[in-house]
Amino acid sequence: MILSPEGVRVFPEASIETMTNTDNLIRAKGLIASAERVAVLTGAGISAESGVPTFRGKDGLWKNYRAEDLASPEAFRKDPGLVWEWYDWRRSLIAARQPNPGHYALVKLEEQVPAFTLITQNVDGLHDLAGSSHPLKLHGDIWTVRCTRCTYTDINRQTPLPEIPPRCDCGSLLRPDIIWFGEALPEATFREAWQAAESAEVFIVAGTSALVQPAASLPLLAAKKGAKVVEVNLEETPLSPHSDIVLPGPAGDVLPQLLA
Ligand code: APR
């Protein structure tokens, strides 16, 4: 910070600390409006206003288990019934929810931007339901199941499941088609997300704690390649200091305001 001759505080360049929310909104909106290539990374926070609990928020625990204790191959091996009970609970909860204005704003943004990529860590399917054409699902889909032994995989929207843990016709256990902690992300999907991050002019990050890798590295990659990073979140995250613009607030309020 420097002092002007009049003794008034002026800032050598705009920064998150010095700009008001309105200034930031206008600036972010301007960046998006003039960008040819925009990528967006969403996390559980974008579905929070639809009533889907986040993983690390105050409602993130299920029966005192953390997501990390249940979403892993080890947990499934140890107690597939318990893991499926958690997914059955989440599936029933999500089935009753609808997309919110945050999801719909991203559908509109896709229409507005020439090259638009939506990358999501969410498995709830609400981006599809809102009408996003091709969300890159880094962590899979809660509505798809696959056999742990044979090649069977299918969409399954039954809630609640009649049998827990559910089994395949071959007799083996079915599992949710979700990427668990310690498992590799779908290669082609992650490559597409990586390329979008590398080429984006603006990278929007909405409703993620930015703690889970490799998703959390995408905005940093985008920034390194020259993109402006815009973060929308209720709270500060490890990504906030690396973002060009931080827009504090609920995604369902903020994202619609970024549209042209
Ligand atoms: N608007 C914007 N942000 C919100 C809102 C909201 N209405 N509600 C909550 N948030 C923010 C929280 O402040 C938090 O930073 O959303 C974030 C949610 O963080 P997490 O629960 O950690 O969810 P996410 O980042 O998606 O988790 C990543 O971890 O458990 C795994 O595979 C799971 O995909 C998930 C991954």
Average pLDDT over residues 5-14: 36
195 and 79 in one domain? Answer: no
* CATH number for position 223: 3.40.50.1220
Surface-to-core class of residue 249, CB atoms within 10 Å of its CB (0-12 exposed, 13-18 middle, 19+ buried): middle
Clarify whether residues 189 and 227 are in a common domain.
Answer: yes
> Which residue, of 122, 151, 178, is where some domain finishes?
178
Spatial separation of the C-alpha atoms in residues 160 and 88, rounded to whole Å: 6
Cβ–ligand 1 distance for 61 under 6 Å, the answer no
Question: How far apart are alpha carbons 36 and 199 in whole angstroms?
Answer: 10
Measured by CA distance, the residue closest to atom 14 of ligand 1 is 209
Q: Indicate if 125 and 194 belong to the same structural domain.
A: yes
Instruction: For residues 58 and 44, state if they share a domain.
Output: no
DSSP state of 62: B
Q: Say whether both 174 and 209 belong to one domain.
A: no
Start-to-end CA distance of the chain, whole Å, equals 33
Give nearest CA residue, ligand 1 atom 23. Answer: 44
Does the active-site annotation cover 139?
Answer: yes
163/256 same-domain check:
no
Kindly state whether residues 123 and 237 are assigned to the same domain.
yes
Ligand 1 contact via 125 beta carbon (within 6 Å): no
Whether residue 50 has its Cβ less than 6 Å from ligand 1: no
* Structural domain total, the chain: 2
Interacting residues of 39 by C-beta distance below 8 A, sequence separation 6+: 116, 117, 118, 119, 193, 196, 197, 200, 202, 203, 204, 218, 222, 227
Residue 6 has pLDDT above 50, yes or no: no
Query: Are residues 83 and 197 part of one domain?
Result: no
In this prediction, residue 57 carries a pLDDT of 78
Looking at the structure, tell me whether residues 84 and 212 fall in a common domain. Answer: no
Question: How confident is the prediction for the chain on average, in pLDDT?
Answer: 92
Same domain, 107 and 227: yes
Q: Is 15 a residue whose pLDDT tops 50?
A: no
Cα gap 136→190, rounded to integer Å? 8
Residue 58: CATH number of its domain:
3.30.1600.10
List of residues 6+ apart from 137 with CB closer than 8 A:
120, 122, 123, 186, 189
Least confident of 6-10, 137-141, 192-196, 203-207: 6-10
pLDDT digits (tens, 9 = 90+) for 216-230: 999 999 999 999 999
**Ligand 1 site, residue 56, Cβ cutoff 6 A:** yes
Per-residue pLDDT averaged across 105-127, rounded? 98
| Catalytic entry in 127, 134, 139, 242 | 139
Tokens of 243: 């973002």
pLDDT of residue 227: 98
Distance 157 CA to ligand 1 centre (A): 24
Dist. CA 12 → ligand 1 center (Å): 34
* Lowest-confidence region among 10-24, 44-58, 147-161, 205-219: 10-24
Residue 72: domain span: 54-96+141-178
Alpha carbon nearest to ligand 1 atom 26, residue: 43
- Predicted local distance difference test score (pLDDT) of residue 186: 96
Cβ–ligand 1 distance for 142 under 6 Å, the answer no
Give the integer Cα–Cα distance in Å for 234 and 44.
Answer: 12
Q: Tell the residue number behind the tokens 């992300």, with chain if given.
A: 185
- Percent of the chain at pLDDT exceeding 90: 86
Closest to 54 (Cα-Cα) out of 45, 63, 67: 45
